[in-house]
Every structure is written in structure tokens, then in C-alpha cells.
Structure 1
């Protein structure tokens, strides 16, 4: 099923990169209500995640808004490679702490984030305006799809380390982050390694990747957290950006380093940034593009135990 989904994504990549952005936006607007009615597993999981975050069942309009936001991310990502620096900068309203901008001049800085808003646009914006971006992305199948995304991100100023499910790229990430000052944003609201940390989140518990806190600890650098919201650009921006939609980018931090033992630091630091990120998620829950199970009650305990066992084996081998 995942392979079919990724193959369809590759087809959409080909089509979307060759049509005007307004056409893609129109197709999304008429497709989202129809897709919702199919009530697929993806739709049911999205609804389940929204229900937990919002504390109630989402309305029909909220579900459609969530689908539109999710698909708008892809429509933007597929065409980002042909956007100019000026167009990218006009697609983003950013709030970034002055301390981060000062730190990035001399050392790499880590930013924790989730599948929210448009993270590729955010990376392109930062790379165009401030510093190179280094990050990790899931290695997708078919390989041609992974190559498409990797080439796209490289063209807009981001270096990508591909992550195989159940594997670790931590040492590679550390080495590259130490070579030169870079922003290192890491998607961490879904654990792919098997080493996820159970964190209080939206009234229950969820698995978050340890990467941001672990990397900040290893590099002895600051840890920030970012929230992103999809927004309709004002007319003056829309004309320059050549698209209807952009994002509001809000960076918070640095997240205070917990005064705990070295062994507990990654867990406690992760809990701290997630708490800050949760507040941003609740402001715009329909911009969280999470269609997989991440909350602990939704996870298969047997599969989770196997993933943790594989992770421990990989750690032991490395």
C-alpha cells in the first residue's frame, strides 16, 4: 500500500511541477471533500489524531481544511524548485529569535519541528535568507521518488541525509553539523528509528523522536522549536510570490536545558520542547499533517516492541 501511495506521489510530482499553482489549488479544493467521503484508513487516522489534539471530534469543514492544508504542502513542495529567492521570501511571515540568528553565524543550531505547515518552504526560506540547512528525511520507495525530493531540497539549499526505517544516521548528522554552521531542523513528531521517547502530549502520550535533543546535547548547542501554519497571502505578497498560499513561521526558544543528570537530559529536553510545540499545534490543529498513528494508545505494542529491539541491535552494532 505504501509503495502504491509513493508511486502515485511520484506521478503527482510530475504533474504538479508542470501546471500553474492556481490549477493545483483548484484541484485540491474540489478533491478534498470527495476524498473525505471515502473514509480511508488515512482519513480515519487523521480524524483520530485531530480528535485527540482538539479534545473533540473535528467538524466536516475542519476535516476538509486539514486535507486541503496537507495537500497544499505537496502542491508547494512539488513546485518549490522553480521558485525564485524573492518568491520564496514573500511566501513566509517569520518570527525568529535574534539569538538564533546570532548563534548560526558561528555554530550549528538545532530546531525541533513536526509535520506541520510547509517545512520544505521553511527550509528554503532559511537557506535563502540566513544559512545552509542540514536535515534528515525518510528514504522513500520507489528510489526515484526519494531522488526527486532529495534533488528538490538540494536545489533550494538543503542537504539531506536519507534515513532507512529502523536505522540510525546520528553519527553522520553530528559530523556534518560540526563541519560548518548550519541550521539543523529535524522532524520529530513521528519516530522512525524505534528509539522513540514516550512524552505527555495533548492529554495522552505519544512517541517522539529523540533526535533534536540528542543532537543538541552532542553538539553542545541550543535547541529551538518551530510551529508553522498555512495562510492565505495578502494580495501584495501573492502577486510577488506567484502563489495564493504561504506560511506563518514561529520559532520559539532556545528551550531551556533541563538541570538533570546526563542520562536523563535527552528525555527531559524532549518533553520540554514538545510542551512548547503542543501549544502551537493547538492554535492550528488542521495544519498538522499527521496521518499515521503516533499516540501510544493507537500503536501496536507487538510491532513497537520489535521496532525497539531492532533499534537496540543497531545501537549495539554502531
Structure 2
């Protein structure tokens, strides 16, 4: 990314956080929905990949059904960005209360904390994980998570500042000390939350996901195995006027040798929640091994660069 492109990206995010919160909610919703529909018609590489990913989730869908699902998925993704830009100005207590109306499985978090070894909550890229995080801050006081170090640095700082303003403790994935600090938080009987459906290192655990091979990060299961913390998969999706969250029962993982099986169990639970709410899964990148093995289509190689 050139210096000019980086400055334009930073300016776009800055304007998003400054302007979207000032719009009436109905106007912002309509504008983001129109933007999503335009993106579908344009059919860029991200939209094409989202469609390919959704084919795995709903293989029975015909062309028209897949077109409609892709449109709904882009609108769901646009809703996430709209809400993210508006969250700093929203009533955080009201957001947490709204989540509280629909969340299920909180007893699994309570049981984990009662044991005294902390909890590792692992989520896919679904729904609005920032709204889920706001609920967690209200429930537990705070929690710890890791973030990818985006470029340019100014955009990374904006995301860090945004989520820290919501009460999250953030650690960069690139910092070698982050894993040790996560271990410390669990030994303090705290909660950590990690997104776990996409392996950014390409050195994750091989799993079968919707019938095909991919890799998912080993970190969540490794943390649980190292500390005795409860490993809790969490589903997240949108409701018509709020957010749905399900905290699943604990996956038992007590030693390093059990990490692959525990990661496969996470993949299976994610698959169930995503199949129930496919439009709210915001995976616009390559995920399955077969897609990484394919050569880029004509015209996509330049777009990817």
C-alpha cells in the first residue's frame, strides 16, 4: 500500500467514526445497506470469495438463493461496520442490556470462573463481536483479547483506541509477550476472548470444516490446556433489532496432545452456528485449503496486490 493509499485509508476510518455517529440511525442503516448492494453488484474479489465460502455453508442453494444470501451477507457485514462506527456514541449500558435479553449459556462462564482457572471464549467472524465485548465488559469488568497489527499504523491505533474505549484489554498478535500475558490473565481467573475461525499464521491445526480441510488457530485450545481454563466456543449473530449470542458448554482439553481434537470440536460448533445464521458470517477471505491451492483467476492477481 502506497503512502497516499495509507493516508486515504486512515482518513476514511477517521471520517467513519466522526460522521456516522452523527447520522440518524435510520439514515445510517439505509446508507450502509445501499453501499452493500452496490458492492454486490460490483462483484469485487472479496464479494466473490464470500460467495464461494457461502457455497460450502449452504451447498443445496441454487443460483438465485445464493445471490440472495450473498446480498444479505453483505448487508450484515455493512451493519457491523455501521454499528462499529456508532458504538462510541451509543449508550453502552443499553447495548449490554439488549445483549442480555437474548444471550444464552452464561452459566458456562459462571461455572468456569467458579473453578478459578479463567475462561477462553473463542468466536468466529460472525455478528457484532464488539457488541458482544461490550456485554462482556459489563458482565466481567473487562476481558483480554489480541488484535492483528494493521497497516498503516494510524489505522491500527484507531482500532486499538476504539476498543480500549469500550473497556477491552488489547494485545498485538505480533508481540512475543502477548501469549505469556494471556496465560497470566487466565491464572488470575480472568476471561480472554479470541476470534478462532481463521488462521493468520498458516501454521494452525488442520480441521474439517463444512466437509473440507482448512486450518484454525491452535492458540485457544493451547491456552486452555496450559492453564486448566475452560474452553468455551461462542456463537454470535444479528437479530432484527439486536444481537444473539450463545455460550456453548466447555470443551475439555487438559494436555497438549488434546489440542487438535479440541480445535476440531471448535470447528464443529462454529459450523453449527454458522449454518443456522449463514448471512451473519463475515468471511470474505480465502479460508479452505483448496482455495489457497488454486492459482488466482485472471485479473484477481493484480487486485490482490
- Return the TM-score normalized by structure 2: 0.85
Secondary structure of the equivalent of 1:232?
coil
Q: Which one of 52, 55, 68 corresponds to residue 56 of structure 2?
A: 52
CA contact (8 A) 1:17 1:79 kept: yes
Residue matched to 1:315: none
Separation in structure 2 between the aligned mates of residue 25 and residue 146 of structure 1, nearest angstrom: 25
Separation in structure 2 between the aligned mates of residue 122 and residue 252 of structure 1, nearest angstrom: 14
Residue matched to 1:169: 178
Query: 1:200-219 to 2 correspondence within 5 Å?
Result: 200-219=208-227
Deviation of 1:31 after TM superposition, in Å, equals 1.9
Moved more, 188-197 or 16-25: 16-25
How many residues align structurally?
A: 285
- Judged with a 3 Å threshold, the aligned counterparts in structure 2 of structure 1 residues 74 and 168 are, in CA distance, closer, same or farther, namely farther
Query: 1:131-280 to 2 correspondence within 5 Å?
Result: 131-164=141-174, 169-178=178-187, 180-233=188-241, 246-257=242-253, 262-280=255-273
Secondary structure of the equivalent of 2:144?
strand
Residue matched to 2:71: 64
CA contact (8 A) 2:225 2:256 kept: no
Secondary structure of the equivalent of 2:269?
helix
Matched, 1:121 2:117: no
- Judged with a 3 Å threshold, the aligned counterparts in structure 2 of structure 1 residues 136 and 119 are, in CA distance, closer, same or farther, namely same
Matched, 1:78 2:85: yes
Residue matched to 2:300: none
Secondary structure of the equivalent of 1:49?
helix
- Return the TM-score normalized by structure 1: 0.82
Deviation of 1:300 after TM superposition, in Å, equals 4.2
> What is the CA RMSD across the aligned residues, in angstroms?
2.4
CA contact (8 A) 2:224 2:230 kept: yes
Secondary structure of the equivalent of 1:249?
strand
Separation in structure 2 between the aligned mates of residue 78 and residue 25 of structure 1, nearest angstrom: 12
Deviations 1:261-303 (A, max 9, x none): x44311111011211121111001110000110111011489x
Separation in structure 1 between the aligned mates of residue 15 and residue 48 of structure 2, nearest angstrom: 24
- Judged with a 3 Å threshold, the aligned counterparts in structure 2 of structure 1 residues 45 and 222 are, in CA distance, closer, same or farther, namely same
Separation in structure 1 between the aligned mates of residue 49 and residue 232 of structure 2, nearest angstrom: 29
